[in-house]
Amino acid sequence: MASGKSSTAQLVSDELGITLVKEQSSGHPFLAQFYANPGLFALETELAFALIHYHQLHQLAGAAMVSDFSPVKDLVFAEMNLSGEELQMFRQLYQMLAGRVPLPDIVVFLDLPVDECKRRCIARGRPYEANISLEYLSALRDEYRRHMSELGKEVHLVEVAVGQRQRSVAEAVLEKVFQSPYLAADLRSRLGKDQTR
CA atoms of 117 and 105, how far apart (whole Å)? 26
10 Å CB burial of residue 81 (0-12, 13-18, 19+) is buried
Model pLDDT, residue 186: 65
pLDDT (tens digit, 9 = 90+) per residue, 151-170?
Answer: 999 999 999 999 999 999 99
Residue 194 lies in a domain: no
pLDDT beyond 80 at 190: no
Calculate what percentage of the chain has a pLDDT beyond 90. Answer: 76
| The pLDDT value given to residue 125 | 87
Q: What is the CATH number of the domain that holds 80?
A: 3.40.50.300
In a domain, 121, yes or no: yes
Mean pLDDT value of segment 98-114 = 94
Q: Answer whether residue 196 shows pLDDT above 60.
A: no
| Amino acid of residue 39 | G
List, for residues 26-55, the tens digit of each pLDDT value.
Answer: 889 999 899 889 999 999 999 999 999 999
Give the structural domain span for 134.
5-186
Confidence of residue 195 (pLDDT cuts 50, 70, 90): very low
pLDDT 10s digits, 4-30:
999 999 999 999 999 999 998 888 999
Structural domain includes residue 34? yes
pLDDT of residue 194: 53
Instruction: Give mean pLDDT, residues 111-130.
Output: 91
**pLDDT value of residue 63:** 86
99 within domain boundaries: yes
For residue 193, being part of any structural domain is answered with no
For residue 195, being part of any structural domain is answered with no
Between CA 110 and CA 8 the distance in angstroms is 9
For the chain, the domain total comes to: 1
Within a domain: residue 26?
A: yes
Nearest by Cα to 7 from 184, 194, 167: 167
* Beta strands 19-21; 65-67: pairing state: parallel
In the chain, the percentage of residues whose pLDDT exceeds 70 is 95
- Whole-model pTM over 0.85: yes
